Amino acid sequence: MTYLSPGSLRKNEPMSAHVSWRAGGSAQLFYVPLNREDLFGFVREHSQSVFHVMGLGSNLLVRDGGLSETVIQMHGALKEIKIITQLAHELVLEVEAGVPAPKVARTVARLGYQGAEFLAGIPGTMGGALAMNAGCYGHETWDCVQTVVTMDEEGCFHERTAEDYDISYRHVALKNSSESQIPHRLQPTNEWFIASKLRFINDPLRQGQRIIKELLARRVASQPLGQPNAGSVFRNPPEGFAAQLIEQCGLKGLREGSAEVSQKHANFIVNTGNACATDIENLIYRVQQKVWEECGVSLQPEVRIIGNTKG
């Protein structure tokens, strides 16, 4: 993927260069802030704009018609990790939203604490992990959150706790927020995660780095990491697993243009060459329809789909 230097503002920026599916249209404006203060200034200066906030683009599909809104990319800008508390029994870090989740896992393990190992399996930034309560291997992001710092669309900062949110499986919404039911936003609230304080406990046996290696080996063995993808496409239903249902329906290898249901992991859709966003979205719908017809289960996308269809 392409990473712009902090402080960059571009017009008509191809989003295919910034999302892991390597597909999609262009953003009318694309900005990478220098730091929190610069982000504050940019949002205030463009107060009439509608913003989409993104990290690594690992859970995002931008339709081929692109975006008329302004995209703000946190990755490469808000990337600091600070030690707030380091005691024998606990570690508290302040982690900015643009920090990749695997970096947090490695940092915690290196310092001799545990509880962050699962973050090594999340291919996105902490901002995105907070926004969707990302998780794997039986753990979720908000399990280790003490507080978060957010910014609203007027440039105001807020400090919040988990009590301020409705949090569940792959869902985080600010309580009483009028934005919480709008599905096309990159954030399910009208505030963006800027940073978080995360708490971890002591790892007396120093097993963190070993566990991370084991989890990454499992990931390499089970997921199509060599092809452009956006991770798990569908949330697991209340009973069972999306991948099992898709495979049960015989959908591995199903194609739409150059988009394909992965032969390695049925809940992944890969770009085998020059797939466009429309190919990927159509394949998502075809999988949903087939699973509904054969299993009576309505699969809900875990990936976020935004933007305009190409006219």
The CA R_g of the chain, rounded to the nearest whole Å, is 19
Q: Is 232 an active-site residue?
A: yes
* CA distance linking residue 51 with residue 278, whole number of Å: 23
Are the beta carbons of 130 and 146 closer than 8 angstroms?
A: no
Answer yes or no: 199 catalytic: no
Name the catalytic one among 106, 170, 219, 235: 170
The DSSP code sequence of 56-97 is S-TTEEE-TT-EEEEEEE-TTTS--EEEEEE-SSEEEEEEET
Distance CA 196, CA 150 (A): 9
What is the C-alpha separation between 272 and 283, in angstroms, rounded? 13
One of 191, 260, 281, 302 is an active-site residue; which one?
Answer: 302
302 is catalytic: yes
Within 8 A by CB and 6+ apart from 274, the residues are: 257, 258
- Give the span between the Cα atoms of 171 and 129, in whole angstroms: 10
| Residue tagged active-site, from 232, 256, 260, 262 | 232
d(CA 277, CA 62): 7
Residue 65: how many CB atoms within 10 A of its CB? 16
Q: What is the DSSP letter of 150?
A: E
What are 261's strand-pairing partners?
A: 269
Q: Which of 143, 240, 148 is nearest to 200 (CA)?
A: 143
Q: How far apart are CA 32 and CA 279, in angstroms?
A: 29
Task: Give the number of other Cβ atoms within 10 Å of residue 171's Cβ.
Answer: 14
Q: Give SS3 for 124.
A: coil
Q: Report, as residue numbers or ranges, the catalytic residues.
A: 170, 232, 302
